[in-house]
């Protein structure tokens, strides 16, 4: 028991960050699974973080309500953004979503000045958020999400997303509503990212506009790329590794960030399907239908 308490007092926060990052990994999994490269998830995370934090601070709502409000707001913003932006493909979609992250940052910095309120805290950010996130809450959401994902892959929508990734034109010819399902994947991803943002705000007790820029978006992408997107467990594995790795690499000091970049390049070059192999789960029988 004491061993556990000791471990928890040292690594408890790392574990909780890993769990939040797993949520983020799932959030980008939705779009990658559909074959879309969206870098907007850090921005959605910011939306969820700000909305939930403001509700907790000013309205005193209990955590689950704040979290859900944050997640739904992120989902709603995702819907608004997705409507026009998802008409773009490949590189153009990546550029547009990159721009969105920056818009969120600029809004967060300037909102108070232009509205005359003291809500988002401008460039200083918002602190003094009560620490309400618990490991149990995080684990509960992850289990719930995993259960949802298992069901989702067997559903009509799940198969439609897989078909769109394989070949958009063929999918459209088969009568799949390509635009609609893309929007669905985008909004689901935004929702989960918003949820993760809420958890993170109530764990670090702080939300700042510079926490959600390009590098945050890239980190989220790295979770999914490292773990692989052939199966939803891939991003979970990737997030766990990439959260723990910096702790293990403390001795590298300033050079720590290099490893993240290197991993991204090496995995894409030599392990294009990521670390997680769906065959681990299916053993002999047919390889999982979700194979890339």
Partner 1 sequence: MFWQQVVNAIWLGAVYSLFSLGYTLVFGVLGILNLAHPSLYMWGAFIGLMCVNAGLPLWLALPLAMIFSGLMGVLLDRIAFKTLRDRNAPHLATLISSIGASIFLISAAQGVFSAQVSRFPFGVFPVKVFTLGPVTITLLQISILAISLAIMLFLRWLLMGTKLGQATRAVAFNPVTAARLGIPVDRVIMQTFFLAGALAGAAGVLLGLAFNAISPFMGGPMNLKGLTVIVLGGLGNIEGAVLGGFILSFSEVMSVAYLSSDLRDAVSFVLLLIILLFRPNGLLGRSSAKRA
Binding-site ranges for partner 1 (CB under 8 A) = 32, 35, 37, 84-85, 87-92, 94-96, 98-99, 102-103, 106, 109-110, 113, 213-215, 218, 221-222, 225, 253-258, 260-265, 268-269, 272
Q: State in angstroms the smallest separation of the CB of 292 from partner 1.
A: 10
Beta bridge partners of 126: 207
Residues whose CB falls within 8 Å of the CB of residue 113, separated by 6 or more in sequence, listed in order: 122
Q: State in angstroms the smallest separation of the CB of 12 from partner 1.
A: 27
Q: State in angstroms the smallest separation of the CB of 245 from partner 1.
A: 13
Residue 90 tokens, joined = 């490949």
User: Would you say 112 or 205 has its CB closer to partner 1?
Assistant: 112
Q: State in angstroms the smallest separation of the CB of 229 from partner 1.
A: 10
b/e map 68-95, b = 16+ CB within 10 Å: bbbbbbbbebbeebbeebbeeeeeebbe
- Do 190 and 97 contact (CB within 8 A), yes or no? no
Q: Name the nearest CA neighbour of 51 among 65, 69, 64, 63.
A: 69
User: Would you say 199 or 223 has its CB closer to partner 1?
Assistant: 223
Distance CA 224, CA 203 (A): 23
Q: State in angstroms the smallest separation of the CB of 234 from partner 1.
A: 14
User: Would you say 138 or 263 has its CB closer to partner 1?
Assistant: 263
User: Would you say 87 or 156 has its CB closer to partner 1?
Assistant: 87
Q: State in angstroms the smallest separation of the CB of 288 from partner 1.
A: 21
Q: Which residue has the tokens 């897989």?
A: 162
User: Would you say 64 or 261 has its CB closer to partner 1?
Assistant: 261
User: What are the C-alpha distances in Å from 280 to residues 103, 165, 221, 251, 287?
Assistant: 41, 23, 23, 33, 9
- Do 72 and 191 contact (CB within 8 A), yes or no? yes
User: Would you say 159 or 256 has its CB closer to partner 1?
Assistant: 256
Sign (positive or negative) of CA dihedral 149, 153, 157, 162: positive
């Amino acid at each position: 028991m004491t061993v556990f308490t000791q471990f928890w007092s040292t690594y408890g926060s790392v574990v909780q960050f890993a769990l939040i990052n797993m949520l983020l990994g799932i959030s980008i999994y939705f779009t990658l699974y559909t074959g879309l490269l969206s870098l907007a998830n850090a921005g959605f995370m910011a939306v969820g973080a700000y909305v939930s934090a403001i509700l907790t601070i000013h309205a005193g709502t209990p955590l689950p309500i704040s979290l859900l409000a944050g997640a739904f707001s992120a989902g709603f913003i995702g819907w608004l953004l997705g409507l026009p932006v998802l008409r773009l493909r490949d590189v153009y979609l990546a550029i547009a979503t990159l721009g969105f992250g920056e818009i969120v940052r600029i809004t967060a910095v300037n909102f108070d000045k232009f509205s005359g309120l003291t809500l988002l805290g401008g460039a200083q950010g918002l602190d003094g958020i009560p620490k309400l996130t618990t490991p149990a809450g995080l684990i509960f959401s992850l289990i719930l999400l995993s259960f949802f994902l298992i069901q989702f892959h067997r559903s009509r929508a799940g198969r439609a997303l897989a078909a769109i990734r394989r070949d958009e034109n063929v999918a459209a010819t088969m009568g799949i509503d390509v635009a609609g399902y893309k929007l669905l994947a985008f909004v689901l991803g935004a929702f989960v990212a918003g949820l993760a943002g809420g958890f993170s705000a109530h764990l670090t007790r702080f939300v700042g506009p510079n926490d959600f820029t390009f590098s945050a978006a890239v980190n989220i992408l790295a979770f999914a790329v490292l773990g692989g997107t052939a199966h939803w467990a891939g991003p979970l594995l990737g997030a766990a590794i990439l959260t723990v790795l910096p702790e293990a690499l403390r001795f590298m000091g300033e050079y720590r960030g290099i490893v993240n970049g290197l991993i991204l390049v090496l995995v894409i070059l030599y392990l294009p399907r990521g670390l997680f192999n769906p065959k681990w789960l299916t053993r002999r029988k047919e390889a999982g239908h979700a194979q890339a």
